[in-house]
Amino acid sequence: MEEVKAGKGGEKFVPYNERTGNESVVYFTKDLSAAGLIKVYKKVCEGICGKVAVKLHTGEPHGPNIIPRPWVKELFEKCLPDATIVETNTYYDGDRYTTELHRKTIEINGWTFAPVDIMDEHGTTELPVNGGKWFTKMTVGGSLVDYDSLLVLTHFKGHTMGGFGGSNKNIGIGCADGRIGKKAIHTVVGSDDQWSVSEEEFMERMTESAKATVDHFGDKITFVNVMRNMSVSCDCEGVDAEPVVTPNVGILASVDILAVDQACVDIVYAMKKEENHDLVERIESRHGHRQLSYMKELGMGNNRYVLIDTDNGDVRMTAEDAVVDLVPFTE
pLDDT tens for each residue of 173-191: 999 999 999 999 999 999 9
Residues 6+ apart with CB under 8 A from 207: 168, 172, 291, 294, 295, 298, 300
Parse the chain into domains and list their residue ranges.
23-322
- Contact by Cβ (8 Å): 164, 156: yes
Would you state the torsion angle of the CA atoms of residues 142, 260, 207, 45, taken in this order, to the nearest 10 degrees? 20
In CATH terms, the fold of domain 23-322 is Rossmann fold (3.40.50)
Please tell me the predicted confidence (pLDDT) of residue 1. 40
Angle formed at CA 239 by CA 237 and CA 240, multiple of 5 degrees: 55
**In this model, does residue 160 exceed pLDDT 50?**
yes
**pTM of the predicted structure, to 2 decimals:** 0.97
- Could you report the per-residue pLDDT of 37-78, keeping only the tens digit for each? 999 999 999 999 999 999 999 999 998 899 999 999 999 999
Q: Give the span between the Cα atoms of 198 and 220, in whole angstroms.
A: 31
* Alpha-carbon gap, residue 264 to 157, rounded angstroms: 9
Which pLDDT tens digit goes with each residue over 94-145? Answer: 999 999 999 999 999 999 999 999 999 999 999 999 999 999 999 999 999 9
Q: Chain centroid to CA 141: how far?
A: 17
